[in-house]
Amino acid sequence: MGAYYFGQGNYRQAAHYLRKNAEVLIGEWLYERLGEAALPSVLSRAFLVRSLAELGEFAEGSAYGAEAVRIAEAVAQPFDLSTAYLGVGFLCVRKRDLSQAIPVLEKGLEVCQTGNVSRQLGGYLSFLGYAYALSGRLAEAFPLLDQAVDWAASRLQMTGNYPLWVTHLGEAHLLAGRLEDAYQLAERALVRARDLKQRGNEAYALRLLGEITSQHAPLQVEPAATAYQQAIALAEELGMRPLQAHCHRGLGTLYAATGQRESARHTLVTAIAMYRSMEMTFWLPQTEASLAQVEER
């Protein structure tokens, strides 16, 4: 149930069920496989970490991630290790703690490759490639991101990951300045997410469309604002506070660029408050600088 709700973007409900699992899979139950390939205690905690990351509950997520790693390292089986490391890497990417995300994702990718854990490989290719892209290592990012998208497209059981992994690839193209490629990928991700009723991934695709159109020359104000606003509405409904903060920052920057001073101030203040409440410090300096520029005018 937790995994199902996570896939649909209902992260609150996913966390509810997964937290129940984590609460009962303790003591002697930590190391019981119950007929599963991965330890349910590790799998439940890893998916709980990812759900909490989408909700911006990073402290609680980090605690469960550390538990998952401790359990997995105690049994030292590749599937358990790769499951635990991917959960922790996911959370670190969402918080933009790339100095922590990249080493743990690299470690997990090595476990997948040496331990022949094919089911987890696509996730590592996408999230490690995305982390590389966010850190400016685009030459290393693109081969991994391309492989991840091809991986999802060629495997029926991986199709649910396709919209998010395409969004990662699209953002990398945006960072590389290839706006047309980024736009086509964002549109593809949006269509597929809606087809699969993945509302969380739909919100990510909408935010990417806002980022792309806000950088277009000439500036496409209405399409960019609409994409951001739709992403905010969806993220707010789903409790995706980190994504809400990113969209408010993007929308505030857009308003500032078009002289809408009061709207820019309001949305940037909202973004700053959300970043502070979640201790997402990476974006604070640039967002605060944007707000200072608006207030100086």
Q: How many domains does the chain have?
A: 2
Does 169 fall in a domain? no
pLDDT band at 157 (very low <50, low <70, confident <90, very high): low
| Residues 16 and 111 both lie in one domain | yes
Does 162 fall in a domain? no
What lies within 8 Å, CB to CB, of 49 at 6+ separation is 61, 62, 64, 65, 68, 87, 88, 90, 91
Does 164 fall in a domain? no
Does 156 fall in a domain? no
| Residues 202 and 297 both lie in one domain | yes
User: Which CATH number fits the domain that encloses residue 1?
Assistant: 1.25.40
147 contacts 185 by C-beta, under 8 angstroms: no
Measured distance between the N- and C-terminal CA atoms of the chain, rounded to whole angstroms: 51
Question: Which residue range forms the structural domain that includes residue 203?
Answer: 198-297
pLDDT at 33: 84
At which of 81, 116, 151 does a domain end?
Answer: 116
Does 9 fall in a domain? yes
Question: What is this structure's pTM?
Answer: 0.95
250 contacts 211 by C-beta, under 8 angstroms: yes
| Residues 112 and 10 both lie in one domain | yes
Does 138 fall in a domain? no
Write out pLDDT tens, residues 82-134.
Answer: 999 999 999 999 999 999 999 999 999 999 999 988 888 999 999 999 999 99
User: Which CATH number fits the domain that encloses residue 215?
Assistant: 1.25.40.10
Write out pLDDT tens, residues 51-69.
Answer: 999 999 999 999 999 999 9
| Residues 108 and 206 both lie in one domain | no
Percent of the chain with pLDDT over 70: 99
At which of 70, 86, 116 does a domain end?
Answer: 116
Does 108 fall in a domain? yes
Write out pLDDT tens, residues 215-263.
Answer: 988 878 899 999 999 999 999 999 999 999 999 999 999 999 999 999 9
124 contacts 112 by C-beta, under 8 angstroms: yes
Model confidence at 35: pLDDT above 80: no
Does 237 fall in a domain? yes
At which of 116, 144, 165 does a domain end?
Answer: 116
Residue-by-residue DSSP string for 184-246: HHHHHHHHHHHHTT-HHHHHHHHHHHHHHHHTSSS--HHHHHHHHHHHHHHHHHHT-HHHHHH
| Residues 7 and 110 both lie in one domain | yes
